[in-house]
Amino acid sequence: MTRLAAADRVAATVRADIRALNAYPVPPALAGGIKLDAMECPYELPESVRDEIARAVRDTALNRYPAGDTQALAHDVRHAFDIPAESSLLFGNGSDELIHLIVQACCEPGDIVLSPWPSFVYFDMAARFDHARFVGVPLTADLQCDLPAMLQAIDQHRPKVIFLALPNNPTGGLWPDEAVRAIIDAAPGLVVLDEAYQPFADHTWMSRLPALPQAVILRTVSKIGLAGLRFGYLAGHADWIAQFDKVRPPYNLNVLTQAALRAVLRHKAVLDGQAAQLCVDRALLAAALADLPGVTVYPSAGNFVLARFSGELDGNAVHLALKTRKILVKNFSSAHPLLANCLRISIGTPAENTALLSTLQDILCSY
């Protein structure tokens, strides 16, 4: 089949809305550079923990499918992350898969998925993939949740699913409890509290989950040093979890991920210590960025900060200048009008943060 014939066949077969989308962007690795663009933990696990993971992986049979019974893993996750005994658990290949399963289970074509916006782009993408319609409710000018607008949108659209990222990505804001509760109370369907960055927020709804039958909590281990494992979990009332489990692909969690995760969770204190260090460094980095000429830094409860650049250099120019010097940050300048000239900067090691600040100082002061 010629390339033209293949393109014609694709155009006639693949959904038009899918052809119009771009794939989720994963930039190539930057050899020898500083990677501050993906909210990863900059610290590797101690050698003793890596040795324990190696032993666990070595003893894992690869010739058999993963066991259907995940009770042992559930016990470890429940203990490590303080999941209430009353809440059931569902595991996924990262939180992305769980977002998709939620929309797939809840939404018929045309049903509404709603979220404050801008927020995690996969809320929108999952809705589109599953024939739902996404409604993003704009944040305020200072990038906070607009509660009156949210309540009005809920009343108007009657969404099947509402996603609330707590704290929000990419802005870093943590919506007030009163606003979150008002949204939960107004929701006609399910509210998903996405706590991907909870280890850096010193705040969670998890202990209150049993009293919130209309809500579930979504989390990932990607931000606390285990991004390569691709593991997420969903906690909520058993009735919700049972329905989502029906659309979960069989064997979606591979045996190596399970073995490695169980080994690491025996050393949860290591992960907690790294998260605490990142919180300390976040405050230092945010203050230093705010001292730079033409830079506005927004409050963040995640392992990143959002900075807006103004003056001689806009966000695109600063992003390119950093990339030229082998420092990667995430450019949101064209992602949404509210994010014009904004760069999201992951918290790195102290040395990486110092290098970033020095480079930015040189870039900004050279114009």
Domain boundaries, the chain: 61-266
* 232-236 sheet: strands from edge to edge: 88-92, 232-236, 215-220, 190-194, 161-165, 112-117, 133-138
Check if CATH label 3.40.640.10 holds for domain 61-266: yes
Q: What is the average pLDDT across 190-201? A: 98
pLDDT reading at 61 higher than 60: yes
Mean pLDDT of the chain: 95
Q: What is the average pLDDT across 181-204? A: 97
Q: At 183, list the tokens.
A: 């949204």
Q: What is the average pLDDT across 4-27? A: 84
pLDDT reading at 1 higher than 70: no
Residue 316's pLDDT is: 94
Q: What is the average pLDDT across 52-71? A: 94
> Whole-angstrom Cα distance, residue 193 to residue 229?
22
Collect all residues with Cβ–Cβ distance below 8 Å to 89 and sequence separation of at least 6: 74, 77, 78, 83, 233, 234, 235, 241
Q: What is the average pLDDT across 137-149? A: 98
Residue 24's pLDDT is: 81
Residue 210's pLDDT is: 97
pTM recorded for the entire structure: 0.95
Q: Which of 121, 134, 90 is nearest to 242 (CA)?
A: 90
* Lowest-confidence segment of 24-33, 116-125, 172-181, 269-278 by average pLDDT: 24-33
Collect all residues with Cβ–Cβ distance below 8 Å to 72 and sequence separation of at least 6: 262
Q: What is the average pLDDT across 349-359? A: 98
Angle at alpha carbon of residue 174, lines to 121 and 88, rounded to 5° = 75
